[in-house]
Amino acid sequence: MSKVGLMLRKARKAKGLSQSELSYELRTPQQVISSWENGRNDPNIASLEKIAAALDIELPWTALDDEVTEDGDSRDTRRYLTPGPSRTGYAA
């Protein structure tokens, strides 16, 4: 299971939602929620924003993302879900 999946499951359960209830709020099939939580897939940025809103968590994380630096090098940027009191945007 991925770290994103573990944290998503923890935040969902802390909010008292089942996968079915979260899938209804996100307008996403329950199987997709399950695949995120079990690490088979990662949510995209748009889904991460919806998840944060539904679970009332901060977004100091993104899905795995390759970022190209000014000199053309590619680097892996990983930021992960952290439950928090409010949604304040992306952490640097």
Tokens standing for 61? Answer: 């994380």
The CA-to-CA distance between both ends of the chain, in Å, stands at 25
Homologous superfamily of domain range 3-79: lambda repressor-like DNA-binding domains (1.10.260.40)
Instruction: Kindly report the pTM of this predicted structure.
Output: 0.64
Tell me the pLDDT tens digit for each residue of 13-56. Answer: 999 999 999 999 999 999 999 999 999 998 998 998 999 999 99
Cα dist from 52 to 39, 71, 74, 75, whole Å: 18, 33, 27, 25
For the chain, the domains span 3-79
